[in-house]
């Protein structure tokens, strides 16, 4: 039995393009983001992948990415389950602020700590640890059982909600995960053992997936 789990960060959003903290704000994809999502779907199809079910967040940029990927794969009719547990990390008071302006106001070190550390919260927001506290139970209860019974599963979500999940799948510590970057529109493909650990991991490079 193949136990396939594919994780994909949404394509570039309007806030990504403008270098803004996004969090739970709800911008849609840019033209580039649409192209990235379509290219990811095309690359997965070329590689012989298909899905039985997809999961995405409560935010439009992830939902749009998921829909475009499935459309390119000819799988628009499969079940797509949306849940806020997969939402991006809440950046609180930083949401909507330009990242360079934030560095000018609080300093590079503080902004870097807010963005990349495991357990430091930005003002009014979530740490990666907080994000993991909602992502991981949802993964264990809703996503993993489907993978383990042989369903091919796509998860289209966000940089930090996926970082929280990859941290567990790849057994990363809190220091290593600080350097983990998940690029927009670049699928991560996991094959799991029967004990739920990772048997194999590969990345469909975004440049190789370009339409």
Structure confidence by residue, pLDDT tens digits, 142-187:
999 999 999 999 999 999 999 999 999 999 999 899 889 999 999 9
User: In this structure, is residue 118 part of a structural domain?
Assistant: no
User: In this structure, is residue 173 part of a structural domain?
Assistant: yes
| Structural domain span for residue 163 | 4-13+29-89+131-203
Question: Whats the size of the chain, residue-wise?
Answer: 211
pLDDT at 87: 98
Number of domains in the chain: 1
Specify the pTM: 0.95
User: In this structure, is residue 102 part of a structural domain?
Assistant: no
User: In this structure, is residue 178 part of a structural domain?
Assistant: yes
As annotated, the active-site residues are 10, 88
User: In this structure, is residue 159 part of a structural domain?
Assistant: yes
User: In this structure, is residue 76 part of a structural domain?
Assistant: yes
pLDDT at 209: 44
Q: Which CATH number goes with the domain that contains 63?
A: 3.40.50.1240
User: In this structure, is residue 52 part of a structural domain?
Assistant: yes
**Per-residue pLDDT for 133 more than 50?**
yes
Strand locations in 102-196, DSSP E? 153-157, 188-192
pLDDT at 206: 62
Residue linked to tokens 């990345």 = 203
User: In this structure, is residue 113 part of a structural domain?
Assistant: no
Q: In sequence order, what are the residues at sequence separation of 6 or more whose Cβ sits closer than 8 angstroms to the Cβ of residue 126? A: 89, 90, 91, 92
């Amino acid at each position: 039995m193949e136990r396939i789990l594919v994780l994909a960060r949404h394509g570039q959003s309007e806030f990504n393009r403008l270098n803004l903290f996004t969090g739970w704000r709800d911008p849609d994809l840019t033209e580039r983001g649409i192209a990235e999502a379509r290219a990811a779907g095309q690359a997965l199809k070329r590689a012989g992948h298909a899905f039985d079910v997809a999961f995405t967040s409560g935010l439009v940029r992830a939902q749009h990415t998921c829909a475009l990927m499935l459309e390119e794969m000819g799988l628009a009719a499969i079940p797509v389950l949306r849940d806020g547990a997969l939402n991006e990390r809440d950046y609180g008071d930083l949401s909507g602020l330009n990242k360079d302006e934030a560095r000018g106001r609080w300093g590079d070190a503080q902004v870097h700590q807010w963005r990349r550390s495991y357990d430091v919260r930005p003002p009014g927001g979530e740490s990666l640890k907080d994000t993991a506290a909602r992502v991981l139970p949802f993964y264990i209860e809703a996503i993993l059982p489907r993978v383990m019974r042989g369903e091919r599963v796509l998860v289209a979500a966000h940089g930090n909600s996926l970082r929280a999940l990859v941290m567990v799948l790849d057994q990363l510590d809190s220091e290593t995960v600080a350097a983990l970057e998940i690029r927009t529109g670049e699928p991560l493909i996991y094959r799991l053992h029967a004990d739920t650990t990772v048997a194999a991991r590969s990345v469909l490079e975004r440049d190789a997936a370009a339409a």
